[in-house]
Structure 1
């Protein structure tokens, strides 16, 4: 009786932990230079706490998955911040990601005046200088699949054509988002899935410039990869990594990229990513 109770209790704890882990945002990377420090219990720290709480609250009802704010009257105590959620995630996922980032960024970047944290679902950043409507390409983070592509020449041709298309469409932006996705046939049995996104406060030219730079930095000859900066991001995979139904409503793909559905197999546990920070 006692052993059965112990087993059941263990399974219950396992289930709770599993559900909690599954719903948590996927942390990717953070960046916070040591050269930018604030004094604990200072006015800047107080303003930072207010800013992060404001952004977290804004995420609960943000239709665009984006918001920016500034707290404080005069430098050097002013704090600027913003968040951007991936275009296909729902409002609950966006809110949960920003709320997690609000706590996480202070733990990973203690006493830093400038910090940025990336998750698969969102990005959160703050600075002691204005960052709204400012295109920034550094730091940039590159992640890639360790498996190589079997036909790199053909693959790179399809990839170039596809990322050129989503760069142009994301730069223009519609429905309050600078976002575009596309899927293209690589082989008769494989499709290439791509996504590009900029913060919506950028101009068409700024978004285009930022995404063009990410194209140049994408890994070559790999089955998947991504590059993200404080202002934009791009990703490609041989499996659907975004919510296609949500994207179809937001940004319908151009007709020339549409093709009959083809079977795509995603093998769990086979993807390894390497991360580099370029400063």
Structure 2
């Protein structure tokens, strides 16, 4: 764990310094993880990675919200695998912008890493020297939540788990290869509503998708966010999010913006986030958005 943290901590500070710049571009950058296993500069692997990034950005410009690709060579050690997944409700131009920004960030900030993943609120971009397609990855997760709690926490938690599980059931219902995305809203009381979102990468089977979402809902959500006014949990294969304001788009309308744009509104301006190194190890921090 200690050896891993020396690579995680510098990255955490980069989140704080780069957050405002990314938001200004209309994207909500969350974080990235770069492997410590490196490839040789100017190698065949680097050339293949460049080709992979080009294929991802090209496909994202074709109104595609999920795509995976493999760049192979004579030597299997130079093979690189990659994918992107855009959030199921965002327009194609934002998906294209997010994937392009994600590949640029990975190229710059994860230079020479043989595997990496970058998370935005709008998309996930990932690559590796090992095949990960159709395989669950329950490591290198991330949680972000509103530190302001609901006043009626116990009844809210019951409603949250019920609504989130129904949303997860709907997202996982779609067959392998189909978009696994669902949203749901329900009334908290006469004044407030709860909005939930769940999504898996399309290469997962329905069973693996539900298992991934189940882990987020039953293992991570109770630790980070269950009594909060909003929260989100990301893993390479699936994501969940809930808010007490509308944040997702319908087919015909854009979401009502929150007071802080894509950032959950808070009373103090502070937001908590947590790196989920695995389903049982996590590091949590507080910082104030600019």
Regarding TM over 0.5, the answer is: yes
Deviation of 1:246 (Å): 5.0
Alpha-carbon offset, residue 157 of structure 1 = 0.9
Aligned length: 245
The one-character-per-residue Cα deviations of 1:103-128 (angstroms, maximum 9, x if unpaired) are: 11111211100100011111100000
Residues 68 and 153 of structure 1: is their aligned pair in 2 closer, same or farther, counting only changes over 3 Å?
Answer: same
User: Could you say which residue in structure 1 is the equivalent of 2:191?
Assistant: 189
Q: Conserved in 1, the CA contact under 8 Å of 2:247 and 2:257? A: no
* 1:34-76 deviations in Å (ceiling 9; x for gaps): 2x1111111111100000011100101144x000001122321
Q: What displacement does 1:132 show?
A: 1.4
Q: Give me the whole-angstrom Cα distance separating, in 2, the residues matched to 1:46 and 1:195.
A: 37
d(CA) in 2 for partners of 1:112 and 1:234?
A: 27
Partner residue, 1:70? 70
In terms of Rg, which structure is larger? 1
For the Cα contact (< 8 Å) 1:210–1:232, is it kept in 2?
Answer: yes
Compute the displacement of 1:232 (Å). Answer: 0.2
SS of structure 2 residue aligned to 1:184: strand
Which residue number in structure 2 is paired with residue 59 of structure 1? 60
Alignment CA distance shift 1:237-1:53 (3 Å): same
Range with greater deviation from structure 2 (189-198 or 70-79): 70-79
In the other structure, the counterpart of 1:44 is: 45
Q: Deviations over 1:176-226 (max 9, x none)?
A: 310110001011100000000000110010000000000021122111001
Equivalent residue of 2:53, what SS? helix
SS in 1 for 2:162: helix
Equivalent pair of 1:181/1:247 in contact (CA under 8 Å): no
- Find the counterpart in structure 1 of residue 231 from structure 2: 225
1:164 Cα shift? 1.0
Shift of 1:266: 4.2
Contact 1:37/1:112 (<8 A) preserved: yes
Superposed CA offset, 1:236-257 (max 9, x none): 0000111123599xxxxxxxxx
Asked whether the equivalents of residues 26 and 120 of structure 1 are also in contact (C-alpha less than 8 Å), the reply is yes
Q: Which residue of 2 aligns with 1:257?
A: none
Q: CA RMSD in A?
A: 2.3
**What's 1:98 paired with?**
99
Once residues 79 and 186 of structure 2 are traced to their aligned partners in structure 1, the CA distance between those partners, rounded to angstroms, is 46
**What TM-score, normalized by structure 2, do the two folds share?**
0.79
Aligned to 1:272: 270
Q: Which runs of 5+ in 1 are unaligned?
A: 1-17, 249-263
Aligned equivalents of 1:266, 1:62: Cα separation in 2:
27
Whether 1:211 aligns to 2:213 is yes
Cα deviations by residue, 1:97-153 (Å, 9 ceiling, x for unpaired): 101111111112111001000111111000000121112121110110011111001
CA change 1:49–1:157 in 2 (3 A) is same
How far apart, in 1, do the equivalents of 2:156 and 2:240 lie? 17
Report matched runs for 1:119-134 at 5 Å.
119-134=120-135
Corresponding residue SS for 2:93: helix
